[in-house]
């Protein structure tokens, strides 16, 4: 199946590792050109180099107000266009309600929530018909995850924002989609499992709750992201797609 990604240009934030990197890999593999971002120039450049000549790395802080315009300009300057953005933000610090400080909440809000809103808003102003704005969120949009209180508070709000944005941009032919990963085998998920006294037992318990009885691979997530961002998904907008092996209990 041809996804129609050849020579389309995307910005993928948080793409030096994990889910953002997996999405960038699959986009490039299908012919797209990608601006990949990370917190420092060295890691962003390294991630881009690993993807080949159709990727360029740039350091970017999602919380910085000037970041969106700079990334869109980078896409146009390096590749001559801008067709979409995948907004992947780092996970907020873990903790229960009593653990997280006001400072942690404020920092996470600036980066995870307001930074994502700014990126999406700037992209919406620059995209034409056929453009797409994607969000990497979390299964916590529908089902809170114990020990991830800040994420549980912020990500459902972003899902609501994404739906509002989809309604507003639809008449212009611009799509908005969200991905809701759960137990994907990334460094972040292994770190969370490692917070328990017995990480292997924790993983086994989590796997037992997944109908497919295993964690997903980054490649599986990346392929889903590439499809949703592609012209092949041209009639999909305003949706949140669980990438969780069936773990979500609802429809």
pLDDT at residue 249, rounded to an integer: 76
Quick check: 90 pLDDT over 80? no
Quick check: 157 pLDDT over 90? yes
Quick check: 120 pLDDT over 90? yes
Count of alpha carbons within 13 angstroms of residue 199, beta-carbon side? 7
- Mean pLDDT of all residues in 214-227: 97
pLDDT digits (tens, 9 = 90+) for 37-47: 998 999 999 99
Quick check: 191 pLDDT over 80? yes
Answer yes or no: are the C-beta atoms of 156 and 140 closer than 8 Å.
Answer: yes
Please state the three-class secondary structure of the chain as a single string: CCCCCCCCEEEECCCCCHHHHHHHHHHHHCCCEEEEEECCHHHHHHHHHHHCCCEEEEECCCCCCCHHHHHHHHHHHHHCCCCEEEEECCCCCCECCCCCCHHHHHHHHHHHHHHHHHHHHHHHHHCCCCCEEEEECCHHHCCCCCCEHHHHHHHHHHHHHHHHHHHHHHHHCCEEEEEEECCECCHHHHHHHCCCCCHHHHHHHHHHCCCCCCCECHHHHHHHHHHHHCHHHCCCCCEEEEECCCCCCCC
Mean pLDDT of all residues belonging to the chain: 94
Give dist(CA 101, CA 17) in Å, integer.
27
pLDDT digits (tens, 9 = 90+) for 239-249: 999 999 998 87
The whole-model pTM stands at 0.93
Cα separation values, 132 from 23, 120, 135, 165, 191, Å:
14, 10, 10, 11, 31
The CA dihedral of 202, 208, 210, 214, to the nearest 10 degrees, is 70
């Amino acid at each position: 199946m041809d996804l129609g990604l050849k020579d389309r240009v995307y910005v993928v934030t948080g793409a030096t590792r994990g889910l953002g990197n997996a999405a960038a890999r699959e986009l490039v593999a299908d012919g797209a050109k990608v601006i990949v971002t990370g917190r420092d120039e060295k890691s962003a450049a390294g991630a881009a180099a690993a993807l080949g000549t159709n990727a360029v790395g740039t350091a970017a802080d999602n919380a910085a107000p000037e970041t969106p315009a700079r990334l869109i300009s980078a896409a146009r300057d390096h590749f001559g266009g801008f067709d979409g953005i995948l907004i992947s933000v780092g996970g907020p610090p873990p903790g229960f309600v009593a653990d997280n400080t006001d400072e942690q909440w404020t920092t996470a809000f600036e980066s995870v929530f307001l930074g994502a809103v700014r990126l999406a808003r700037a992209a919406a102003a620059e995209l034409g018909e056929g453009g797409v704005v994607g969000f990497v969120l979390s299964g916590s949009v529908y089902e809170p995850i114990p020990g991830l209180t800040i994420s549980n508070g912020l990500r459902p709000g972003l899902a609501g924002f994404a739906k509002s944005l989809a309604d507003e941009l639809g008449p212009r032919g611009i799509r908005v989609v969200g991905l809701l990963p759960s137990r994907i085998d990334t460094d972040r998920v292994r770190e969370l499992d490692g917070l328990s006294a017995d990480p292997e037992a924790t993983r086994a318990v989590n796997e037992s709750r997944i109908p497919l009885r295993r964690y997903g691979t980054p490649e599986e997530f990346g392929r889903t992201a590439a499809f949703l961002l592609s012209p092949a998904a041209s009639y999909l907008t305003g949706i949140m797609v669980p990438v969780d092996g069936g773990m979500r209990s609802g429809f």
